[in-house]
Every structure is written in structure tokens, then in C-alpha cells.
Structure 1
Amino acid sequence: MDKLSKGFWMSFQIVTNNLIPFYYNEKAKIGRGTINMERVEYSTFKKVDLPKAKKTIHWKNFFLDVTYKDLFIDLVGFTISRVILFTNLLPLSIAYFAAGLPAKANRIWLLLFTCAGVLSVRDSVLSSKYIGTFVLMLVFQYLVEARGYKPTKIVQAVLAMGSCFAMGILTAAINGFSGYYLIVAVLESIFVFTAAYIYGSAISCIKGSLKRTILSNEEIISLILIFGTAIAGVIDFSVSGIYFREVISIFLVLLFGFIGGPSIGGTVGIVIGTILTLIGVMPAGSIGVLGISGMITGLFKDIGRIGSGIGFLLGQMIVSFYFEGTAITYDFLKPIIAASILFFTFPKGVITYIKQFINNESETGQEVYYKRIRDITAQQLEAFSNAFLKLSRTFSNISRKKTSLNQRDVSMLIEDVASRVCKDCGLCSHCWETDFYNTYQTVFSILSAAERKSRIDLSDIPQDFVDKCLRVDVFADTTNRMFELYKLNLLWHNRIVESRELVSEQLKGVSSIIGNLAMEVYGEVYFKEELEQAIKVELDREKIIVSDVIVVLNRQNKYEVVIEHSPCKGKRLCTKNILPVVSKILGRRMKVIDSGCVGICSKDKCKMKLIEEEKFRIMTGVARESKESNAISGDNYSFMEIKNGQYLLALSDGMGTGNKASEESSAAIELLEEFIESGFDKDLAIKMINSVLVLKSNEDFFSTLDMTIIDLYTGVAEFVKIGAASAFIKRGEMVEVIGSSSLPVGMLSNVDIDVTKKKLKDGDIIVMVTDGVLDSKKDIIEKEKWFSEILKGIDTNQPEYIADYLLNIAKENSDHEIEDDMTILVAKVWEKYL
């Protein structure tokens, strides 16, 4: 061993002999709560003899006091220390050791692992330079910490560079200050500074919390570099001609390309290819091959793991053959196949865990602002919804309806009658004090009779009370008047309760609408950025200048698209060019609902909105006839397209004929239109309509309600009937009857709703009628069966013709003497595309 090697080993032994006692003295001080090194009282060490001091060093703890993270860092340090650059240099070992020095508890193990890595690839003479650099860095580290400073990443990199340069100059001096050694000292120290700074971020990230979900770009790049260089230092071996290092390299490119997309996949491929080229195990062309293969892997990630594997294979085959002329042989495919098998069997949970660190794209200020506004708006809407719901419950719990007088009412009634009749009577004290019990029981029985008969006379009063009372006639009249007054109060009390119930239902409906609006604002609406980008690219190819594209997948799993583009000066680009492009990209038929055309001369932007085109359409026809000698029909109807791709058919028959019946049915239809259009649930809308009609008047006027809601996307129809006549579905020569057994709206406070769901098909015909049509056939009982046979015999599919034909038959049945209003509403369902 030459003088330089002996000097280095002597220095190493001296430092290491003092490191362990120093390390455990530091641990002991931390256990005593003394952290600041300047506060150590050195006199305390004089009181402890040397043998006792040695007993404080627990070698078991020395070997076991290492966390799994420290062990992982040490193993990576071993592999990185084996990486030889430029045929003879090991600068990465110095850089990594410098990056790991801040962890005091792991310094000894890191020193041992890095020294072992250096010694595994170089003999003791050549490795002495790097081991001496490690020792020098340790000395500098403890000197800096002894002064109370905690080195930052940049300071660690400077210490590493200084130590490397000092040992490089010493090596150059021993070799006669040869120009080669001087250049190596300068270049290697600069390389160490750069690598140490990068490794510092990676080791800090590894030592950090496992609960982190967001990594900065600096941390991601440093982790890629540290693992890439670790792979380069792996002890390589082969099985059946498949080299471990090559398989791991391909596997990492596949994994990160699949997780991070083209950018991450290409970056990892270039980093690994560069490192493997620098250590001399791959040609320089491998950098481009792995980089392009990683990018193609990321492009195919949406297809899944198989797609990414195929993408990598295509990249390898095409680039290798084109640039290097490499033949596609079995030996060429063996490492790719082995890495692909490892990639396909890699745990999904680990991929998901890694993905959360990589796929965190930074959001723009506008996106963050939008999310904050959305959250605030949704929270405020939810608060409003809860407030209205609580107010609704408050109204419903204030009071209950009364069907009869309760004990309190009877007591008050007795007191009122007694105060009016008996107050000035001479026998008052005798009746209501001396004989109170018998008098009270007698009056109570008289009131019970009044409640049964609504009015009492002398025959309803017990004979002993008649003989005893001096004002029995006045008592009977007063009791009747007061009882009528109490009944009137009971009626108005129930009316007030019904009004409160109506208000409660209305408040509940408002709460439901606001709650649904909060859900639409906050959740279950997804922006499709990849589709937005695809639409922009395709429209750009069509030479359409687009400033903004928004693609939203709503709660009904339907696409909504808003496009802002330059004005076309009346060329109707929205329907001619943009609409086909959007439909093609989304793979669904779209339609324009709002073109927002700004005109021919305007310089403003045009904004158009597209939604998915419904699969079904509805054609309608109506025929009606009022009762003879009455110009006004008591029947009313409506058909309209409502939001969310639904179509409403409604028919109401007001009881009786003339103006009053028309007012009742018209009120039902108008309220239904308003509530459904405003977003109220159909059940809640019907309850509110019923409450309004119950309170509308004291007269016995009621209305039936026949409603059909058709989903134009799916073809599912809901038949809702309240006291209405049967409806019919004609499908070819088959007719299905939809019946009902509920009472009309406005008759009772609580309404029964009959709901029937049916799946409609292309060509189906829906027929809704009022009872005047079915009752026109008086000589038969099974009127629905008769009407079904009439429908079976119709061979046309024109709704207007069918309605007129059925009305003429009904009029003929009545000999044109119509006894009740007749209305027939016919709707044909047809598919626009299959």
C-alpha cells in the first residue's frame, strides 16, 4: 500500500474510532433534553471513568436503531456508489453521501454502505480517494453542526464539492500535479455539487411522510434521477440471457409511462438511457430509443396496461430498426417480454399509490377561483335548502286538524253558556257551587246531544234539569248559538291548518329545488378536458377559430358543450361545421339549443351550446267538443317539452260543465305546467295543486288530472292518474289499457296518485281521453274494451286524424247530443335514429 493509501486509512480509522462515542453522546444528550451542543458541560465527563463510559454503548442498539426508510436509503446508496462514470470515476457516491448526511442517526450505516459500494467496484488503492472524501465530509459536517448551524441543501452540496475538490487536489499533488488530475478534480467537484443538490430533494422526499399526495416537479425529477442511477449500480446478472438491469430499466419506463403519460414516460426513458450510456452498458442511441418508447407508452395509457405494453414494443421495434438497423429477433424481445410480464402483474394498489404523486397538475388561478366560488355557492344553497326545510317542518307541526270538540273546547263552551245564561240567575250559586257536579254532568250530556243532532230542543234536556232551571228556554237557545259558533271556529281552524300545510308543502318544494341546484353546482358534474382539447384540435383543422370550449358530463350522464368562436358572418358554421365535428369527437348525436349568433357586422364572439340529441320525438293531435249549448269546455289539456329531455302530456276534466268546470281544470293544468317547468318533483307538484284546489273554494268542484311524462332519451313513459279516465297505448294491432282508481284533485286534503311506467317503442301511439268520450257508449259496461277495439281497427298513425276519428265516433254514439265535455289527446312516439 502506497503512502497516500496508508494516510487515508489512518485518517479513516481515527475518525471512525471517535464517531461512535460522539454519536451516542449526542443520543444521550437528546435523551436528557439537552439539544444545543454549546450548553454541554464537559466537566461531567471527567466524573465518569473510561470503563463505565464504554458500558453506555449498546452494540445491539447500534445495529437495530435504524428505520426501514434509513435502510432503504442505505441500500440505494450502495447501488449508486457502484456507478462508474467516464470509465474511472465515482462522483455519484460522494453526491449521495453528502445528501444523506443530515440524518444523524443513519450516518454510520450510510458510511458503511457507500464504502461497501465503492469497494465492490474498485480496489482499496483506487477507492481510498472516495473513502477519504467521505471522512472529510463527516469532519466538515460535525464542525458545522458544532457551531450550532444546520446546513441546507445548497450548503451540503458546497461541502461535498469542497471535499471532493480537496481530495482531488491532494491526488493531483501526489501524482506531480498532472494536468489530467487537475481537470478531473475540477470537473468531478462540479458534477458532485449538481448531483448532491438533486439527491438532497429526493432523500428529503423519501424521509418525509407517506401521507403526502402532492410532489413538486423538483421532487419528481430528483426521484427519477436517484432511482435511475440506482438501477445503473445494481449488481447485474442474467437468467437465460435476460439481464436483470435491462429488465428493470424497461419495467420502470413502462410503469411511469403508464402512470404519468407521454411527458413522464419520455423523461424516465431519457434519464435511464442517459445513465446506462454513461456507465457504458448501452450505446448512445439507447437514449433516444428509451425516450421515444416511454413517450409512446404514455400515449397508449388510456387503453390500459396492455395498450402501454404494445406502445412500448412498437416504439422499440420502429425506432431501433429505423435508427440502428437492429433486427427484431427473439433475443431482442426477451427483456421486453420479461419486463412486460412484471408490469402486467404489478399490484394495482401500488400503481394507484404512485399515481397520486405524479398526476397532480397545477391548477391555474382561474380554476382555483372557480372552485372556490362553486364551493361557496353550493354551501350557501345547501344552507338555504335546510332553512326552508326546517321552516316547512315548523309550519306542519304548529297545529293539527280537529274532527270534534276536545275536552278543553267543551269546558270553554260550558263556561261561556253559563256566563251568559246563569250569571244573573238567583239559583246560580246553588247550581254551580252547591250542586256543581250534577249540573256539570247534565250540561255536558246536553252538549253531547247538540254534537250529535247539530241542534237541541227541550226534549233533549233532562226533565230534572227542566224542572230546576228558571231559564231553560234561554239556556237551549244560547247553547245552540254558542255551539254553532264553536263549529264555525272549528271549520276555520281546519282551514288555517290546511293553509299551513299548503305553505309547508310549498316550502318543502322550494327546499328540494334549491337542494337539487346545490347538487348540480357542487357535485356530479365533470369537466372533460381531454375532449375539450380534441374538439379544439379538430376545429382548428377545419379552420374554425375557437377561443374556448367547455365539455361537461352532467348528472344524467349526458354531454353539454359550450363553444365560443369568432363570428362567421352569417355562414351558420354552428350547424354546418361545428356540430358534425363535436358529434364525431363525442361519439354521440348532438344538437344546437342556443346558437348565440351575434350578427353579420358584430365583432363580438359567438357562443353556442350543444346538448345530446334525444332519441325519440313526439307528434301530437287534439280533438275536443263541449257539451251541447255550452261554448266553453270544462276540459283542458297541455303538451310541452320540459327540461332534462322529457315531454309532458296533461289532460284535466273539471267536474261538471261550463265556466266553473273550465276554471277548475284550467287552474290544475296551469299550476302543473308552472311547477314541472320550475323543477318541482311531480309528486310534490300534484300535492301542491291538490292543496290549492282544496282551499280555492267551498263549492264541490273537483278536477281529474291525467299526466304522461316521456323520457325522450330512453323512451320510458310514466302515466300519472288522479281520478282520470283510462289511457291507451296502441302498438300495431295491440292495445294496452292504463287504468286508475284514485279520486280527483281538490276533493280530499291527501291525494292518492296512481303511477304506471311503460317502455315505449318506435311507432307507439298514446291516447288520453276524458270520461265524456268513454261514457258516450251507454249500452255497454266494459267501455275500455269497446274503445280498445276501436283503436285496433285504426290503420293510420297520424295523431290529428286519430283524434278526430275517435271524437266523431263518440259523437255518433250520443246521436250528436253531447251530455259531457269530450277531449281526446293523441301522441305518436317515433325514433329519430336506431
Structure 2
Amino acid sequence: MQNVERTVVKPTSDVRLDKPRFEFSKLLVKLQTSIESFFLRKGYIFLFIGFLLGRALILAKLTPFSLPFFAAVFFIRRDRAPIALLGLVAGAATLSLGEAAVTFGTIVLFLILFRVTGRWMKNELRGLPLLVFFTILSMEMSRTAVIEGNITVYGSAMAGIEAGLGLILAFIFLQSIPLLTVNKRRQSLKTEEIVCLIIMLASVMTGTIGWTLYDISIEHVLSRYLVLVFAFVAGATMGSTVGVVTGLIFSLANLSSFFHMSLLAFAGLLGGLLKEGKKFGVAVGLLVATLLIGMYGETGQPINKMLLETGVAILLFLLTPTSLTSKIAKYIPGTAEYSAEQQQYMRKMRDVTARRVAQFSNVFQALSKSFSSIEEKTEGEEPDRDLDYFLSNVTEKTCQTCFKKDHCWARNFNTTYEFMSDIMHELDHTGTISPKLSRDWDKHCTRSKKVNDIMQHQLTFYQANRKLKKQVQESRKLVANQLLGVSEVMGDFAKEIQRERENHHKQEEQILSALQEFGVEIENVDIYSLEQGNVDIDMTIPYCGGHGECEKLIAPMLSDILGETILVNSEECATIPSGVCQVTFRSAKAFAVLTGVAHAAKDGDLISGDSYSTIELGGGKYAIAISDGMGNGERAHTESQETLKLLQQILQSGIEEKVAIKSVNSILALRTTDEIFSTLDLAMVDLQNASARFLKIGSTPSFIKRGSKIIKIQASNLPMGILQEFEVDVVSEQLKAGDLLIMMSDGVFEGPKHVENYDLWMKRKISELETNEPQAVADLIMEEVIRSRSGMIEDDMTVVVAKIDHNIPKWASIPVQSMLKEA
């Protein structure tokens, strides 16, 4: 009982401990959502930014920020322009009421000019900064003329400088404001966008110049905090960039803060270099920079005040939630968060693509079932329906005008129907009516001769219609088989898409270091797969001068490192000494196939009716095929060649062998009404385990020579194109290294003269061979058959011999591991 009570009480206490933490995190999420809604969705962020920019100064006199900011908000979010205007005027009023009036007047003048020039402005995005320039220039020139009574060179120069700054700031705000207002961004930030964002943030912070809290400068705290955040998020490069840009803006706003640029830049550099130490490392970087600049720089400020401002910035930085820095890092290229976000996006796109491909696969499968179901229904219904239509046409022309119509069809329907059905079937099969059936029919029908003649005439239409329907049914079967094959291919493709590239950073570093320690210069290693038998590695190596370093050195070393034979699959060599080579290494197949072919046309002609093909398919499979077209000459050659071409294209698409052969058969049967048939002898060899699958369609037997043992491979299918529907017999056989696979056409197998048993003769000739070289074996078999015919070639003859052997690489593996251990 005590054990039971403990197991019950313990989860309850855990729930009570986790409950306050859960409620606190929920409260933080709710608070964050409320703040985002207030500032971003309702637009009050423009009020805050406008207030600070309205009181921001350059060179202690110029205020170029107000109009560019209003123009950008007016162009991007016109509904929030009144809020921005209110913030700008309120900020300017903190400087003076006259400055607020000038700011308001400048914006009103801009709106008037925008309305007037709107009809001629073709591109508002490009024309807006120019309009800002002319508005500020006009307003400042007018202001100078009113205050000083005339236009001076100094006043004109200052007006031009302020207008030029307004032009530049308009471009910057047009790029940076969307980054602050758009809640969800999918693409990453460009370098120009990041710089524009930093300039805008620094410009906003200049509005805090002069603000102090307990003798702590607000602008110094905020600028150092900004540098800390970007150094922590993006490293030394971005941290120092942010420091330089922010310091430059502050220096322009207040010349006494010029030293601040070197402090911020140095802090961003040190903080970025120490970001591996997390937040404390970055904080130490700012602290060290403050101490060095404070002790050895001419800052004009006491070091204790600088350290206090730095401490406040560090405190704010440490209190910044990780979720905020992670969200910022997602949009900056080069960060781990950005890579994870991109990988997640690519994974999502991959899953969506795979799902769509799988849906298409299901669609094709459903279409295939639909065609198959139509075929099954029609096979049961069509014969009876066709018979009824046939008899209906016959009775319409004979029985409708007969006076015994009621007697035959109303009183004796079954008898009449059976008589006419039997007559139709006998005419269809034999062309005549048996004497017994003819006598019985004459007794039953008074117009028997006329019915027979009409039935004979209608039978020709019936047979033509039946043949046409068979072709339509075969077309449906072909479509169903092809759709099923496409469905399977697309299903496999969807699975292949979902296979994500594995993360092999550790293995890449190990291989790179092992090769470099051995003295081989490698620039880059990319591993895509380390699966046994399916290794896939890409390397970038310096120019080797064409000495075959990849094949002779790197591949053998990889073979020892990975524990299997690795070969060079493809290589793109550099053409100049300063270039690099791109090399792909793949797993070597366990077995290799060496082929030899001998063929001859009938009577020594140039064109043979036989065709052969050796095809290396994907997935480590090797196909050997022989096709024999009906007859001889060019027409038979075209037919057999077309058979192999169709088969090769279908097999290379990934469709299973049985479906491929059935599809080729259906195409041959439907393509022409002529009786053109072709045989097919196909062997599929798996190069990883040497297993073989034999598919024989009307072809002669094949033989496997294993030492002194001869194995016969035979199947009993008719040639292709004869039957619309047939089952493919598949014979499987496990081959071994050293085996000879001998395939031949009927001209070779049945060629020997005065031979009663072709099997025994061919086995004896193969067993007597003293060579295992494929080409020599093919030539010897062909010569033996021709000699038996006294040198005559009475049919097209083709022999294909394939030798299965272990795939021995050209270069042995180099024992890298043992050498490194000894060293």
C-alpha cells in the first residue's frame, strides 16, 4: 500500500511545482502578444518612432529625419500617416514651437506637391525621394530668406546638405520601415536591408540625445545594447558593422560623441569573437572595450561613468529573452537559427512536394482501378448483350413480318431463342450449320432459309464489332497497366523525396583530416550518403595536373577508411593550374558484367531481323535483351529494334519488368493490324548480389555455364503481339562469380542441321568450350552452328554471352588507418 501511495502522490507534487512556471510562461506570451498588437497592428510604433525622429538633430542644427520618415510611412502605410505626423510634430515641439511649425509646414507642402505631381509621376517609389529633396530644399531656402532677409551661400549650402540627407534617408526608410512593421517575413534580410535597419535604429536613438537618468546617458546605453544584441546574434562582422554605423550617426548628431564610434566598433568586434561564450562572452567583450577606450582613449568622460553605462547596457542585454534574439537571428544569413529556419522551410517544401506526388500517385492508381473495373464489368456483360443485339437485328428483318410471330416468340420464346443462338454460334465458329440443327430449325421455322441468310449477313458485322471491342478492351488494359506503373514510379519518387540528406559533419571532418594528415590536399568534402553499398561523396581538390590522383590515391584511401571499395564515378578537372577539380566518389558494385556478341543476317545480308541490347539501369541492375522480329530483313529488324527501344525506355523510367513487358506487348498488338510478332529474351542481373531474373517471351532457352555444369533456363510464353493478354513467367537464378550466361535467338538454337535434340547438342558444345572469354565463346558457338550448315546462314543469328565476375578495382586500397596509428 505504501508503494502505491507514493506513486500517486509524486505526480501530484510535480504538477503543483510546474503549474506556476506554466502560468508565468503563459503570462509572458500573453504580454508579448499584447505589446505586438498595440505597436504593430494598431500602428502606435509610428507614434513612438516619429516622436524620437522629430527631435533628432544632425550637426546640432539640421532636422532631416521628419519628412523622409513621414513620406515613407505615407507611401507604405497611408492609413498610419496621421499617427506618424502627430509623433513628428510632438517630437519637434520638444525642441521649440517654431521647429514644430516648420515640421508641420514641410509635411503639408510635401502633400501638396505630391498631389500636384502625382499625375506625372510614373514610378512613385523612385519619384518619392526626389520629391522629398525638393520639398526640404524649398522649405529651408524659404526659411533662410525669411529669417535672414536674403539668401546667403552658407544658408544655401546648409539647405542643400539637409535636402541631400533627406533624399538618402527617404531611400533608407523605404527599405527599413517594412522590416519593423511586417509581422511575418519568410525571406532572409539582405546586407543592404540590415544596414538600412541599423541606420534607422541609430537615427531613432539620436532622438534620445540629452536624456539622462541618474546621470546615465540613455543614448549611450541604447547604442551599446544594440551592438551587444547584433554581436551576439550574428558575430564579429555584423557586430563591428553595427558599431561603426551607430557610432557614425551619433557622431554626426553630436560631435562630442566622436569617440563613441571607436568604442562601439571595438565592442562589436570583441563581442562577436567571444560569442561562443554565450551572453556572458559578448558582455565581456563590451566591458573590455570600455576599459581600453576609457583608459587609453581621449573620451573626455570619467571611466567610472562609462563603466556604469556599460553595466546598465549589459544588464538589459542579459534580461533580453532568448526568444527575441532567436527571432532576429532567423533573418540574418550565416547564423545557426537562419540555417535551421531555412532547413525547416526546405523540409516543409519537400514534404509538400512529396505529398503532392503521392496524391498524383493515388490518382493514377485510382484511374488504373477504374479502367480495370470497367474491363471486369464489360467482360461479363458484353457477350450476352452482343448476342441479344445480334438476334434483335435478325428478327427485325425476318420475324416482324411473319404470321407465326406470336407462336414462335410469345408461346415458344426459349425454344426459338436457343435455336437461333446455336445457329449463330455454329456459323461463327465453323461457317456452316450442322445437318441435324438445320433439320430441326426447318421444322420450327417457316422462313428458315431467309433467317439463315440474314444471320450469315449480319454475322460479318457482328465479328467486326467484336474485334473492334477487343481492341478497345486491350487499349483499356494497356492504359490501366501503364497508369499502375506510373503510380508505382511516382510513389517511389515520393518516398525518395522524403529521404533527407543526413548530417555528416563529423564524418566529413574525419575524412578531411585523415586525408590531409596523410599528405593529400583536399579543399572540401561533402557526404550525401554513407549507406553500405550506396556511398556518395563529393570532393573539391586542387588541380593535380592530370596525374589521376583521384583514381590512384584518394579512392583507395577512402576504400580503407569506409571499409568498402570506392571508385571515381565522375570527375570535372580544372583546365588551369589555379583551378579546382570536382569529383564524385561512389560505392563500387560487388559484381561486374563483361559481354560479347556475335550476330549474322540471313544469307549474309547486312540487315538482321534480330536485335540485342545491353542496358545498365539505375539501382545497380544490368539488363541483357535479345529480340527476334518475325521473318527477316529490314521490316523484322525495325520491329525487333522498336521492341527493345520501348522496353529500354520503360525500364529506365523505373517501372517493374512484368508491367514493362506487358505494356510493350499491348503496344505491339494495337499498333498495327498486320501480323507482326517479335520474341523477347530478357535477363536482369543485380550487380550487388548477382541474382538474375529471366523473362522469356517466345524466346529460345538460355544456358548458364558454371565450370563443367550447364544450367538451362526456359519458359513457355508465346511471342509478343500474338495474344492480347498473357502472363509473364519469371525464372529466378542465383549467379556466381565466373558464370557464363549464354543467350541466343532461334536461328542459333535451332540452326544445327540433322540434330534431333537441340538442347543436348547446345549443352555439349558449350561444355566443350575451353575458354571463358565472352567474345570468344560467342564467336565459337556461332562458328559451330554455321559449320553444321556447311557454311550456309539460313536464318538471322544472334548470340550474347555475359560473364559474371567479382568487381576488382584497378587500384588496391591504401591502409590509411594503420599508417596514421603508427605515426
Which of 727, 743, 768 is matched with 1:793 structurally? 768
Distance (whole Å) between structure 2 residues aligned to residue 517 and residue 637 of structure 1: 30
The structure-2 alpha-carbon separation of the partners of 1:65 and 1:781, relative to structure 1 and needing over 3 Å to count, comes to: closer
Which of 390, 397, 402 is matched with 2:366 structurally? 390
* Match in the other structure for 1:546: 523
* Match in the other structure for 2:213: none
Distance (whole Å) between structure 1 residues aligned to residue 803 and residue 17 of structure 2: 81
Secondary structure at the counterpart of residue 704 of structure 1: strand
* Match in the other structure for 2:420: 446
Secondary structure at the counterpart of residue 791 of structure 2: coil
* Match in the other structure for 1:495: 471
Distance (whole Å) between structure 2 residues aligned to residue 683 and residue 479 of structure 1: 43
The structure-2 alpha-carbon separation of the partners of 1:774 and 1:104, relative to structure 1 and needing over 3 Å to count, comes to: closer
What displacement does 1:403 show?
9.3
* Match in the other structure for 2:616: 641
Give the stretch that moved more between structures: 581-590 or 490-499.
581-590
Secondary structure at the counterpart of residue 795 of structure 1: coil
What displacement does 1:463 show?
6.9
The structure-2 alpha-carbon separation of the partners of 1:102 and 1:736, relative to structure 1 and needing over 3 Å to count, comes to: closer
**In the alignment, is residue 480 of structure 1 matched against residue 422 of structure 2?**
no
1:133-188 CA distances to partner (integer Å, 9 max, x unpaired)?
xxxxxxxxxxxx9xxx9999xxxxxxxxxxxxxxxxxxxxxxxxxxxxxxxxxxxx
- The answer to whether the 8 A contact 2:696-2:729 is kept is yes
* Match in the other structure for 2:357: 381
What displacement does 1:740 show?
2.6
The structure-2 alpha-carbon separation of the partners of 1:637 and 1:536, relative to structure 1 and needing over 3 Å to count, comes to: same
1:418-453 CA distances to partner (integer Å, 9 max, x unpaired)?
333455x4x46x625896344774365134212212
**In the alignment, is residue 609 of structure 1 matched against residue 584 of structure 2?**
yes
Which of 491, 495, 499 is matched with 1:515 structurally? 491
The structure-2 alpha-carbon separation of the partners of 1:508 and 1:553, relative to structure 1 and needing over 3 Å to count, comes to: farther
Secondary structure at the counterpart of residue 827 of structure 1: strand
Distance (whole Å) between structure 2 residues aligned to residue 66 and residue 403 of structure 1: 67
Which of 486, 507, 510 is matched with 1:531 structurally? 507
Q: How does 1:274-673 map to 2 (within 5 A)?
A: 364-400=340-376, 406-421=383-398, 425=401, 427=402, 431-432=405-406, 436-438=410-412, 441-442=415-416, 444-454=418-428, 455=431, 474-523=450-499, 526-541=502-517, 542=519, 544-547=521-524, 549-553=526-530, 557-564=533-540, 574-575=550-551, 578-597=554-573, 599-600=575-576, 606-628=581-603, 631-673=606-648
* Match in the other structure for 2:10: 68
Distance (whole Å) between structure 1 residues aligned to residue 738 and residue 703 of structure 2: 14
Distance (whole Å) between structure 1 residues aligned to residue 651 and residue 490 of structure 2: 15
What displacement does 1:637 show?
0.9
What displacement does 1:405 show?
6.8
Distance (whole Å) between structure 2 residues aligned to residue 635 and residue 831 of structure 1: 30
What displacement does 1:832 show?
3.4
Distance (whole Å) between structure 2 residues aligned to residue 526 and residue 595 of structure 1: 23
What displacement does 1:461 show?
8.0
The structure-2 alpha-carbon separation of the partners of 1:591 and 1:657, relative to structure 1 and needing over 3 Å to count, comes to: same
Distance (whole Å) between structure 1 residues aligned to residue 649 and residue 426 of structure 2: 45
* Match in the other structure for 2:740: 765
The structure-2 alpha-carbon separation of the partners of 1:456 and 1:761, relative to structure 1 and needing over 3 Å to count, comes to: closer
Secondary structure at the counterpart of residue 539 of structure 2: strand
Secondary structure at the counterpart of residue 603 of structure 2: coil
What displacement does 1:689 show?
1.8
Distance (whole Å) between structure 2 residues aligned to residue 498 and residue 728 of structure 1: 34
Distance (whole Å) between structure 2 residues aligned to residue 366 and residue 736 of structure 1: 57
**Contiguous gaps of at least 5 residues in structure 1:** 1-59, 74-99, 106-144, 153-360
What displacement does 1:768 show?
1.1
Distance (whole Å) between structure 2 residues aligned to residue 550 and residue 492 of structure 1: 57
Secondary structure at the counterpart of residue 710 of structure 1: strand
- The answer to whether the 8 A contact 1:570-1:600 is kept is no
Distance (whole Å) between structure 2 residues aligned to residue 506 and residue 104 of structure 1: 62
- The answer to whether the 8 A contact 2:540-2:581 is kept is yes
Distance (whole Å) between structure 1 residues aligned to residue 462 and residue 28 of structure 2: 92
> Residue 422 of structure 2 aligns to which amino acid in structure 1?
S
1:368-420 CA distances to partner (integer Å, 9 max, x unpaired)?
23322322222122111111111111111123465997333333223222333
Secondary structure at the counterpart of residue 741 of structure 1: coil
What displacement does 1:688 show?
1.4
Distance (whole Å) between structure 1 residues aligned to residue 796 and residue 420 of structure 2: 50
What displacement does 1:650 show?
1.2
Distance (whole Å) between structure 2 residues aligned to residue 515 and residue 651 of structure 1: 30
Distance (whole Å) between structure 2 residues aligned to residue 606 and residue 823 of structure 1: 44
Which of 788, 805, 815 is matched with 1:813 structurally? 788
- The answer to whether the 8 A contact 1:534-1:585 is kept is no
The structure-2 alpha-carbon separation of the partners of 1:458 and 1:384, relative to structure 1 and needing over 3 Å to count, comes to: closer
Distance (whole Å) between structure 2 residues aligned to residue 506 and residue 610 of structure 1: 35
**Contiguous gaps of at least 5 residues in structure 2:** 30-335, 810-823
> Residue 397 of structure 1 aligns to which amino acid in structure 2?
S
What displacement does 1:514 show?
1.0
1:468-496 CA distances to partner (integer Å, 9 max, x unpaired)?
98866554332222222122111111110
- The answer to whether the 8 A contact 2:621-2:686 is kept is yes
What displacement does 1:659 show?
3.5
* Match in the other structure for 2:685: 710
Q: How does 1:200-239 map to 2 (within 5 A)?
A: none
Secondary structure at the counterpart of residue 364 of structure 1: helix
Which of 692, 696, 711 is matched with 2:671 structurally? 696
- The answer to whether the 8 A contact 1:592-1:609 is kept is yes
* Match in the other structure for 1:263: none
Distance (whole Å) between structure 1 residues aligned to residue 610 and residue 701 of structure 2: 15
Distance (whole Å) between structure 2 residues aligned to residue 773 and residue 434 of structure 1: 64
Which of 690, 701, 710 is matched with 1:735 structurally? 710
The structure-2 alpha-carbon separation of the partners of 1:150 and 1:611, relative to structure 1 and needing over 3 Å to count, comes to: closer
- The answer to whether the 8 A contact 1:743-1:752 is kept is no
What displacement does 1:821 show?
2.1
What displacement does 1:811 show?
0.8
The structure-2 alpha-carbon separation of the partners of 1:367 and 1:656, relative to structure 1 and needing over 3 Å to count, comes to: same
Distance (whole Å) between structure 2 residues aligned to residue 65 and residue 764 of structure 1: 68
1:279-322 CA distances to partner (integer Å, 9 max, x unpaired)?
xxxxxxxxxxxxxxxxxxxxxxxxxxxxxxxxxxxxxxxxxxxx
What displacement does 1:648 show?
1.6
1:335-393 CA distances to partner (integer Å, 9 max, x unpaired)?
xxxxxxxxxxxxxxxxxxxxxxxxxx987334323322322222122111111111111
1:522-553 CA distances to partner (integer Å, 9 max, x unpaired)?
14975544322322333454463534512314
- The answer to whether the 8 A contact 1:525-1:553 is kept is no
Distance (whole Å) between structure 1 residues aligned to residue 17 and residue 787 of structure 2: 104
- The answer to whether the 8 A contact 1:456-1:480 is kept is no
The structure-2 alpha-carbon separation of the partners of 1:409 and 1:71, relative to structure 1 and needing over 3 Å to count, comes to: closer
Distance (whole Å) between structure 1 residues aligned to residue 357 and residue 433 of structure 2: 62
Distance (whole Å) between structure 2 residues aligned to residue 622 and residue 72 of structure 1: 78
Distance (whole Å) between structure 2 residues aligned to residue 67 and residue 420 of structure 1: 96
Secondary structure at the counterpart of residue 639 of structure 1: strand
Secondary structure at the counterpart of residue 771 of structure 2: coil
What displacement does 1:609 show?
2.1
Q: How does 1:162-181 map to 2 (within 5 A)?
A: none
* Match in the other structure for 1:300: none
Distance (whole Å) between structure 1 residues aligned to residue 18 and residue 751 of structure 2: 98
The structure-2 alpha-carbon separation of the partners of 1:594 and 1:481, relative to structure 1 and needing over 3 Å to count, comes to: same
Q: How does 1:739-750 map to 2 (within 5 A)?
A: 739-750=714-725
Secondary structure at the counterpart of residue 798 of structure 2: strand
Distance (whole Å) between structure 1 residues aligned to residue 691 and residue 767 of structure 2: 23
